[in-house]
Amino acid sequence: MGRLFGTDGVRGVANADLTAELALGLSVAAAHVLAEAGTFEGHRPTAVVGRDPRASGEFLEAAVVAGLASAGVDVLRVGVLPTPAVAYLTGSLGADIGVMLSASHNAMPDNGIKFFARGGHKLADELEDRIESVYEQHRTGEPWERPTGAGVGRVTDYTEGFDRYVAHLIAVLPNRLDGLKVVLDEAHGAAARVSPEAFARAGAEVVTIGAEPDGLNINDGCGSTHLELLRAAVVEHRADLGIAHDGDADRCLAVDANGEEIDGDQILAVLAVAMREAGHLRKDTVVGTVMSNLGFKTAMEREGIQLVQTAVGDRYVLESMKAEGFALGGEQSGHVIVLDHATTGDGTLTGLMLAARVAATGRTLADLAGVMQRLPQVLVNVPDVDKSRVETSPEVATAVARAEHELGDTGRVLLRKSGTEPLVRVMVEAADLEQARAVAGQLADVVKSALG
């Protein structure tokens, strides 16, 4: 069996890869593993369970709740809420485990299960490995130890979770948003109620699109992966800015008043400068990934802010932040982590903080985002190659060295193995888009011929 847990929980096509049986079994296994680790010691354990609006989330939620309760865990069912809300409530309510059912920005047929440990933090790799091992052990025949009578878990609908989370978002904002007009694209996802409510309570005039989830339309032509509707709506409504979330609202991308995209690197740049001015950017450092735009790195150097770069994936950004005590980090895709106020990427919080910076300075978002000049970045996926040889092939190494020499200090080259597919990703940045395309194409041809 291949590893079930990826970099962001267990994910697959609902009712094909991710079945009710798997969801139930993993939940029971998680309860047993955390009990063995001493998490439940001395008290009756509690779990927070939430989901995004996908139709499959209804039966998967039922399976997870059944699994946890059958293992003696009391369940607080919070319903449709963003992933960061479930993480926040897990910590805020002192729960022992949090479970979110979502496939984030994936298409509707997919779904996923993400576990949070006490405090609302992602489970450590070793705990995920142990859960998978215990699940497999019992799936093949060994019976579970099951509580009976009063020992079984009780299930409660925790309807206060919505207001508790929104109140938290408002409480941590540095200033109100009065006078701003904001368009919110909710991707027909988990933040369809939360985000408009939070922005409105903070004082903004709110226009919403993509805020009518029906279980089938999540991420469908809208949200952070499809900004066309948001661009048009911002211009049409003459809004100050637009905010786009993905299905579970752990991401945030933005659009300025002219309808131009503001990506995760630019959002990070704006927030880094704001937090540094307020004295909240610990060690004057922001954490990004190796995919962060070279323009972001240049801008941070100019502002006297250090950039620490990690492997791609918000979990690696978070690990670096926690290990070194940094306050801000994120990815180009819009995963932004403000560790003083959230344990994971929080798209609603990010959007609120970005809008708060616009309100506080009286400057346009385009002006604020101008702190960095985004260099053209071209990404080419080269499929059906032996990705294991990308770092050892002399032909590839020669081609990379030639490309780096051609680009000089005004660009860079990055070759990455896909974590899930037999392909190599070729990324080239250059001051000129045509040069970036040409160099990326040449490198892709070499990778194909050398590793194909």
CATH of the domain at 394: 3.30.310.50
Distances (CA, A) of 328 to 4, 253, 343: 30, 16, 11
Q: Are both 119 and 175 inside the same structural domain? A: no
The Cα–Cα gap between 54 and 218 comes to 7
Q: What is the mean pLDDT of residues 159-171?
A: 98
The distance from CA 1 to its chain's CA centroid, rounded to whole angstroms, is 27
Q: Are both 37 and 89 inside the same structural domain? A: yes
Using the predicted structure, report yes or no on whether residue 351 has a pLDDT greater than 80.
yes
Using the predicted structure, report yes or no on whether residue 334 has a pLDDT greater than 50.
yes
Using the predicted structure, report yes or no on whether residue 420 has a pLDDT greater than 90.
no
- Listed residues 159, 175, 194: the one ending a domain: 159
Entry pTM? 0.91
Q: Are both 51 and 173 inside the same structural domain? A: no
Per the CB < 8 A criterion, the answer to whether 444 and 379 are in contact is no
Locus of tokens 């019992």: 138
- Listed residues 137, 159, 181: the one ending a domain: 159
What is the span of the domain harbouring residue 399? 377-451
Using the predicted structure, report yes or no on whether residue 274 has a pLDDT greater than 60.
yes
The Cα–Cα gap between 429 and 377 comes to 4
Distances (CA, A) of 49 to 89, 101, 235, 343: 10, 8, 38, 17
Q: Are both 297 and 182 inside the same structural domain? A: yes
Using the predicted structure, report yes or no on whether residue 384 has a pLDDT greater than 90.
no
Q: Are both 428 and 342 inside the same structural domain? A: no
Using the predicted structure, report yes or no on whether residue 152 has a pLDDT greater than 80.
yes
Tell me the binding residues for Mg(2+): 104, 246, 248, 250
The question of whether 195 is a catalytic residue gets the answer no
Tell me the binding residues: 104, 246, 248, 250
Q: Are both 338 and 252 inside the same structural domain? A: yes
Q: Are both 321 and 414 inside the same structural domain? A: no
Q: Are both 212 and 354 inside the same structural domain? A: yes
Q: Which of 81-95, 273-287, 394-408 is predicted least confidently?
A: 394-408
CATH number at residue 15: 3.40.120.10
Q: Are both 90 and 197 inside the same structural domain? A: no
pLDDT for the residue 1? 42
Domain count, the chain: 3
> Would strands 253-256 and 261-262 be described as parallel, antiparallel, or unpaired?
antiparallel
- Listed residues 313, 341, 369: the one ending a domain: 369
> Pick the catalytic residue: 104, 195, 224, 393?
104
Distances (CA, A) of 39 to 45, 85, 95, 169, 332: 8, 21, 10, 28, 35
Q: Are both 230 and 154 inside the same structural domain? A: no
Q: Are both 402 and 425 inside the same structural domain? A: yes
Q: Which of 131-145, 214-228, 363-377 is predicted least confidently?
A: 131-145
Q: Are both 343 and 415 inside the same structural domain? A: no
